Amino acid sequence: MASADDKSYDDINVTPMVDLYLVLLLIFIIMTTAGVQGMKVDLPRASKSAAADLGAPKMQAITINNEGKIALNTIPVTLAELENKLGAIKAATPDVPVVVRGDRQTQYEGIMNVLDILGRLQIDKIGLATHPAK
């Protein structure tokens, strides 16, 4: 009579392996969602009057590409057209903010021409867009 220990196994029990994969998947999901949330900060409360201020001036973006071509809010313009359009915008909203975005290959003269126009129109809320340092 043969004992139970002499029986050969024809199949492999994969249940422990599946359990291990599920645990690893659960750890991966938890770590991924924890990394997306970022840092927790205690945000200040805004007053209700600040939320009602929707009449803030819209920011104007002036882009100068590496060929020296100028665009105001993605619309190509010449220097004269830029001065006319910004003059009309300045007349409508005196404290309009402007961001100047120049390509790193742009000639310095092109950016200075745009800044001269902003100075003549007395637009003093000017930002120069850059990438953060690595």
Q: Is residue 92 part of a domain?
A: yes
Residues 78-133: pLDDT tens digits? 888 888 888 888 888 888 888 888 777 777 788 888 888 888 888 888 887 777 76
**What residue has token string 């100075």?**
119
Query: How many other C-beta atoms lie within 10 A of the C-beta of residue 51?
Result: 8
Number of domains in the chain: 1
Report the distance separating Cα 82 and Cα 70, nearest Å. Answer: 8
Q: Is residue 66 part of a domain?
A: yes
Per-residue model confidence (pLDDT) at position 46: 66
Tokens of 61: 């973006």
Q: Is residue 51 part of a domain?
A: no
- Domain housing 82: 56-128
Residues 27-84: pLDDT tens digits? 888 877 765 555 565 666 766 655 545 555 688 888 888 788 888 888 888 888 888 8
3 contact partners, CB below 8 Å, separation of at least 6? none
Q: Is residue 103 part of a domain?
A: yes
Report the distance separating Cα 90 and Cα 57, nearest Å. Answer: 10
